[in-house]
Amino acid sequence: MGNYGYTGDLSSMSRKSAMHAPDDRPFDAPTSHGLSFSGSGAEYFRIWIVNLMLTVATLGIYSAWAKTRRLQYFYRNTQLAGAGFDFRGDPKAILRGRILAVALLAAYHYAFGFSLKVGVVTVALLLAGLPFMMRSALRFRLSNTVYRGLPFGFAGGIKEAYIVYFVPVAIFVLPGALVALMPGNPGVGAIFLLYLCWPLMHGAMKAYQHKHLMAGDQHAAFGLDTADLAKPYVRAFLIGLGVMVVVGLSIGLSVYLARGQKSAAPFAAFLPAILAIVLAYLYMLLMGPYILVRMNNLAWSATSFPGIRITCAMRTWPYLRLQTVNVLLTLLTFGLFRPFAVVRTWKYRVAHLSVDAPDGFEQAVLAARRPPAAAAGDGIADFLGVDLSW
């Protein structure tokens, strides 16, 4: 993922390998490296509880500093080839983003209460501004993530950001606006039909994010398109159709068995319907983790940098078991297990990522350099690139 500084023996080995053909490097030099996490739930619990108390005491203002501390803890304890990552974002920029997000949310909810004109202007501003801000948030997050001293980055253009994000933003913004503009009109609900395109929208956002990643001055290559990334949704939909057929047949069988009883229908008559309901519930429970796992595996395994390939090999059932235990223990401890759950999830995801450099990891990462200073226009974008996420 981009070199970012080197010391001692690794530097000597890299310079030596640069003077020889790849086949001349030491036969035991590793070419594949897995990521690992050295933190623990107990350590993060101490950070989490302090962050929580200070955030409450400051009415949410400290949340920006809390997020910086959280990201620094997780990044600095995430290791790749013996070196950790880091996050160097300015908490004040995160705070600006959160104030902006709260202001936008408040304006969206209350604008039409002032006047129709104010509401229309607010919606237009949201449609025009949110895609730009989402792109800027990616730039902020990645440019402040570093590995061995050099930053990552995001090179996605503004025009493509509007193509990718405009429809998802419209789905979020327009329903409330249309209800205010056309109260009682049943046609307003038609806007929700756009959700049928969500697999393609999600795939387009993933592709936009991954194909414009940078490690230093090295641009990522991305081998999939939007349709490829939408395939997990297609599989989930086909499985859902099969579940619906089974549920329908099971309920029909239960009704038939119940009608055939002269006295009160025994429990056995309704057993098929009960099993069908359980099956439907399991489907809904499983599809979220399934899509997340498949999308991550596809996106990361299709992302590469010069001389470096990335592989993501998460599995659905282990991830589902992990999240099920996390949810149950969080509920049983009234939320106190939350930091342990976050660490467990991060460890699992990191453990299933690996980086392969066929010509040698150090040889590949030494090619990365710090990107040139941003142009004036990009400087403005970076200033506005506040982190909108929580």
For residue 230, tell me if it sits in a domain.
yes
Burial of 1 (0-12, 13-18, 19+ CB in 10 A): buried
For residue 247, tell me if it sits in a domain.
yes
Asked if residue 90 has pLDDT above 70, the reply is yes
Helix, strand, or coil here: 156?
coil
If you average pLDDT over every residue of the chain, what do you get? 82
pTM of the model: 0.80
Q: Mind listing the pLDDT tens digit for each residue in 306-339?
A: 989 999 999 999 999 999 999 999 999 999 999 9
Q: Mind listing the pLDDT tens digit for each residue in 50-73?
A: 999 999 999 999 999 999 999 999
Domain hosting residue 278, numbered range: 224-296
For residue 88, tell me if it sits in a domain.
no
Closest of 51, 41, 33, 50 to residue 74, by C-alpha: 41
Helix, strand, or coil here: 27?
coil
Closest of 228, 189, 237 to residue 210, by C-alpha: 228
For residue 91, tell me if it sits in a domain.
no
For residue 142, tell me if it sits in a domain.
no
Asked if residue 47 has pLDDT above 90, the reply is yes
Rg of the Cα atoms in the chain: 25
Are residues 270 and 254 in contact, defined by beta-carbon separation less than 8 angstroms?
A: yes
For residue 249, tell me if it sits in a domain.
yes
For residue 58, tell me if it sits in a domain.
no
Alpha helices, DSSP H, located in the chain: 8-18, 41-57, 63-76, 91-114, 116-143, 158-181, 198-211, 226-229, 231-259, 267-301, 316-332, 338-351, 361-365, 376-384
For residue 257, tell me if it sits in a domain.
yes
> How many independent structural domains does the chain possess?
1
